[in-house]
Structure 1
Amino acid sequence: MHTMWKGSIGFGLVHIPIKLYAATESKDIHFRSLHAACHTPIRYRKYCPVCEKTVENEEIVKGYEHQPGEFVPVTEEEIEEIRGKNARTVEILDFIRLEEIDPIYYNKSYFVGPSENGEKAYALLRQAMTDTGKIGLARFTFHSKRHLAAVRVYQNGLLLETLFYPDEIRPVERVPGLDKTTDVNERELETAKQLINQLTAPFDPKKYKNDDREALERLIADKIAGHKTVAPPQTAKPANIVDLLSALEASLAETPAKRPAAGTRPAKKKPLTAQKKKKA
């Protein structure tokens, strides 16, 4: 697995060197945007309309738009200063029970693996959390953002799950129509509960599949097998105008100008295109 983050878990005076690995992966089928006329992939570029040029990544800085068209630039150095010296530490703030966290707070999962010389301390923390039935509520910096996270035991290892902060969870009261719910009919309620009981089963993740993705994969495979694919026309490489101009100027410099003989009129210069055709 590819290491996505390297640092340590810290609680009290204990620091355990660790590495983070992506615990999940997207199985979505990704499409390219093509020009319908010729099926050429559409290109997107970072362009500055004032300087009228494409901007490279090293020329881009962060800016906060505090009002339309007016920005506050913020440097990477200023951000690093705010993060402080604990930017590479998963700092456990409290130990709590897993059931205390509502699933709405969960964001993304990462496997936690021991780093060099951290295997013993890693195993100790895993066993202590297993025996106490507790998980660690922590904070750490990842992808330029300060995250809240839950560190818990998962099978024979540890799992870190980033959490949304409370102010990132929208109030449920904003959902339209909740204030219009009516009293529940007792007979209807009993029927609904019976139906729930009939459909109740142990959770087996293997029986749930993404039918749409599998159907789309079959469609693509059938099109490939039936040679129903398209290829955009090859674009001609543009002539190197700079090199051509340099070659012409160098040729003029090496060729001495001929003066016309006395009493004769200078010959009219032929257009460059005509000279090329004659030479060819």
Structure 2
Amino acid sequence: MKKSLQVTNYRYPLGYGTSLATCRHSYFFPKNPRYYYIFLEALEGITCLLTWNIITGGERMRALWRGSISFGLVNVPVKMYAATERKSLSFRQIHKTCGTPIRYEKVCPFCNRKVEDDEIARGYEYEKGKFVVIEEKDLESIPDETTRTIDIVDFVDLAEIDPVYFDRSYFLGPEETGQKAYLLLFEALKKTGKIAIAKVMIRSKQHLACVRPYGENRLVMETMFYPDEVRDAGEIPISPGVKLHENEIKMAVQLIDSLSADFRPEKYTDEYRKAMLDIIRAKVEGEEIKVPPGREEKVVDLMEALKASLEMVEKEKRKGPGVKRKKAATS
């Protein structure tokens, strides 16, 4: 199946005196990338709202990287996939007068002119205002072994790693020729309770990473921050004279115990995103946006806040599941 960009819906903006229209068209990606960008430029000039789907020929996940896991003399050929996807909404800057998206150009302030892509180089600022240019041929000096290998250097307990070190998650899938070695590594990690600490090159950066078993028979890799990339929490100011009473600690522990539950990720939703989508839908359909009255924050005594919180939790437990908790007062 050919890959295509399928426009599933377009609507004329409000104020054009037309009813909302729905149409369907398919545009196949051309082989020449130049025509693809011409198509995108044309879309930017259309004064309507577009909704589109990318049709990828049935492929559910696309491999971002191919290489191998290396430990000892064992090599496990794998493919890397993004394990997460952002669901946050993104907005474009548009011209208020006509609704056209703003376009930015690459300009050299010294030459005072627009710069084409083939005129742009990659530079590193080693001193203020001084740059050294890094070309592709310079990167060829990096050995291939470090660019396509997840090189395991240690096996450790997961509990030893503070979550602040974790960055992004990637699923690792086996290549056809590495199914047995892949499952062998999975079972060995699961049986020992260890995770692998490794180094891997992704997008011109060597990452610290860990490889661990995930689910029934999968491996997941978490990229990690190096120690010098984690800021010192000791720089956060905390008043040394603050003292806690035993009753306050006891009630705080009771509150935590009463709110404790099994982690079920499906019960947590992005309410802000849902509210924003509702606003967007209402604006598209010409509805009036109603602004709720602001909530007054009350500063109360810490002990009173703890007691009130415990009472609120007990009431909600008596009412049963599905009751939303009220926002706690500032203390």
Cα shift readout 1:33-88 (whole Å, capped 9, x = no counterpart): 01223322111121123334332333322211122221122223323424553210
Q: Which has the larger displacement, 41-50 or 119-128?
A: 41-50
Query: Secondary structure at the residue paired with 1:65?
Result: strand
CA separation in 1, counterparts of 2:282 and 2:143? 52
How far did 1:181 drift?
5.2
Tell me the amino acid that sits aligned with residue 220 of structure 2: L
* Structure 1 position 165 matched with structure 2 position 256: no
Tell me the amino acid that sits aligned with residue 106 of structure 2: K
Aligned residue in 2 for 1:268? none
CA separation in 2, counterparts of 1:168 and 1:133? 27
Q: Structure 2 residue aligned with 1:94, among 154, 177, 184?
A: 154
Cα shift readout 1:196-255 (whole Å, capped 9, x = no counterpart): 111111111111110000011111122223389xxxxxxxxxxxxxxxxxxxxxxxxxxx
Q: Which has the larger displacement, 112-121 or 163-172?
A: 112-121
Query: Secondary structure at the residue paired with 1:109?
Result: strand
CA separation in 2, counterparts of 1:31 and 1:182? 44
How far did 1:116 drift?
2.9
Aligned residue in 1 for 2:108? 48
Aligned residue in 2 for 1:129? 189
Structure with the larger RCO, 1 or 2 (CA within 8 Å, 6+ apart): 1
Aligned residue in 2 for 1:6? 66
Tell me the amino acid that sits aligned with residue 208 of structure 1: Y
How far did 1:179 drift?
4.5
What RMSD in Å do the two structures reach over aligned CA positions? 1.7
Q: Percent identity?
A: 48
For 1:72-91, what aligned pairs fall within 5 Å after superposition?
Answer: 72-82=132-142, 84-91=144-151
Q: Structure 2 residue aligned with 1:175, among 236, 244, 251?
A: 236
Task: Mark the runs of 5 or more structure 2 residues left unpaired by the alignment.
Answer: 1-60, 289-331
Indicate the structure (1 or 2) with the bigger Cα radius of gyration. 1
- Aligned residues between the structures: 227
For 1:158-237, what aligned pairs fall within 5 Å after superposition?
Answer: 158-176=219-237, 178-180=238-240, 182-226=242-286
Native 8 Å contact 1:83 1:141 kept in 2: no
Change (3 A) 1:211 1:81: same
CA separation in 1, counterparts of 2:189 and 2:118? 44
Native 8 Å contact 1:33 1:42 kept in 2: yes
Q: TM-score, with normalisation over the residues of structure 1?
A: 0.77
Query: Secondary structure at the residue paired with 1:38?
Result: coil
Q: Structure 1 residue aligned with 2:208, among 145, 148, 167?
A: 148
